[in-house]
Amino acid sequence: MRIHFWGVRGSIPAPLSPMQVQNRIAAVVQRISAKDVVSADSRERFLASLPQWIFGTIGGNTSCVEVENSSGDCIILDAGSGLRELSVNLRQRPGFTATGRTYHLVFSHFHWDHLQGLPFFSQGFDPRNKIVFYSTNPDFRAILNAQMREPYFPVPMEGPGGFRAQLEFVHLDSGDHVFSIGNTKLIWKEMNHPGGCTAYMLTEGGKKVIYATDTELTREDFIKNPGNEEFYSGADILIMDSQYTMGEAIEKTGWGHSAFSLSVDFALTWGVKTLVLFHHEPTYSDQKIWSLRQSAEWYREYAGSRVVDIQIAREGLDLYT
């Protein structure tokens, strides 16, 4: 499976401000010297030496993760503002506009930052396409239609002027919590978040990816019972809500988000290979988010383990299983 991140922020989009851009330019100017621009090679070496928070960005879009499986299916986890960026990219891919495609759009829940990109998913307006929506909420078709109508949006999702793609709505309510999309098995588990939130495990060829956004970890999540063991244990990639520091998580108990250090504890408990810190606090700068990765790595080593690899979710990041 290929996992690509299109939106990684939590709560609300957080684009770079003009002042932040100016500060980055100033930081580059402070670091550069004449020897860094004598040739194309020296320039590239200089750029590569810059801290990641200067040369690049975490991105400001809200939650949207693309998963491409071995059978070529396009599975989209959540429809935050990053979905629009994915939509633009899809139109530029060879073969994606010549014929119709099927897109599988899986929702964790319906807070605004997880569905605000849906009206701008242009593939929905192409009658050659098919979109299959998935959710554990029995009312999700009505929820999606409600957010895409007047006075919130000028055209409906279903109806005149709305999506022209074939639409299918799959309520994930089977007793065994398993559904197949091509070669990928989709398994789900409810998490601790106001109003509810669903975590998804995607498995294929013996590999396991878990998408667990918007969850406030509790002691029950660390209990090694059969249900937790089957879902969490040995994940190759865990995409985990890590919005807060521990102090913020304590201050905001009940808000439904986790501290990055708890995410590290969780990954170590369940033998996760790669932990991806996700759903970043919108008030955090890129520099702050990168510093949290360093803190997470220090915390991991303090816990006596270097087994789990820690990544920062950022727009454009590709991971593979």
Q: Across residues 239-268, what is the average pLDDT?
A: 97
The per-residue pLDDT for 304 is: 77
Split at pLDDT 50, 70, 90, the class of 99 is confident
The per-residue pLDDT for 234 is: 97
Mean pLDDT, rounded, of the chain: 96
- Tens digits of per-residue pLDDT, 190-240? 999 999 999 999 999 999 999 999 999 999 999 999 999 999 999 999 999
Tell whether the model's pLDDT for residue 271 goes beyond 80.
yes
Residues whose CB is less than 8 angstroms from the CB of residue 305 and which lie 6 or more positions away in sequence, other chains included? 268
- Class in CATH terms, 2-12+57-315: alpha beta
DSSP 280: B
The per-residue pLDDT for 174 is: 67
Please list the residues that pair with 203 across neighbouring strands.
185, 208
Angle, helix 286-302 to helix 260-269, in steps of 10 degrees: 40
Residues whose CB is less than 8 angstroms from the CB of residue 116 and which lie 6 or more positions away in sequence, other chains included? 62, 79, 80, 81
Domain boundaries defined on the chain: 2-12+57-315
Q: Across residues 141-163, what is the average pLDDT?
A: 96
Q: Across residues 87-107, what is the average pLDDT?
A: 89
- Tens digits of per-residue pLDDT, 26-65? 999 999 999 999 999 999 999 999 999 999 999 999 999 9
Provide the percentage of residues in the chain whose pLDDT is more than 90.
94
Q: Which of 265, 199, 196 is nearest to 231 (CA)?
A: 199
Predicted structure pTM score: 0.96
H/E run at residue 39: none
The per-residue pLDDT for 240 is: 99
Q: Across residues 83-89, what is the average pLDDT?
A: 98
Tell whether the model's pLDDT for residue 97 goes beyond 90.
no
Distances (CA, A) of 148 to 160, 202, 312: 12, 29, 32
DSSP 309: E
Question: What is the C-alpha to C-alpha distance for residues 245 and 248, in angstroms, rounded to an integer?
Answer: 5
Question: Residue 227: how many CB atoms within 10 A of its CB?
Answer: 10
DSSP code per residue over 68-126 = E-TT--EEEE--STHHHHHHHHHHHSTTTTTS--EEEEE-S--SGGGTTTGGG-GGGG-
Distances (CA, A) of 208 to 22, 150, 175, 179: 41, 41, 21, 15
The per-residue pLDDT for 286 is: 96
Give the distance, in angstroms, between the CA of residue 308 and the centroid of all CA atoms in the same chain: 19
Cis before residue 151, ω within 30 degrees of 0?
Answer: yes
Question: What is the C-alpha to C-alpha distance for residues 40 and 46, in angstroms, rounded to an integer?
Answer: 10
Tell whether the model's pLDDT for residue 175 goes beyond 80.
no
Tell whether the model's pLDDT for residue 98 goes beyond 70.
no
Tell whether the model's pLDDT for residue 305 goes beyond 80.
no
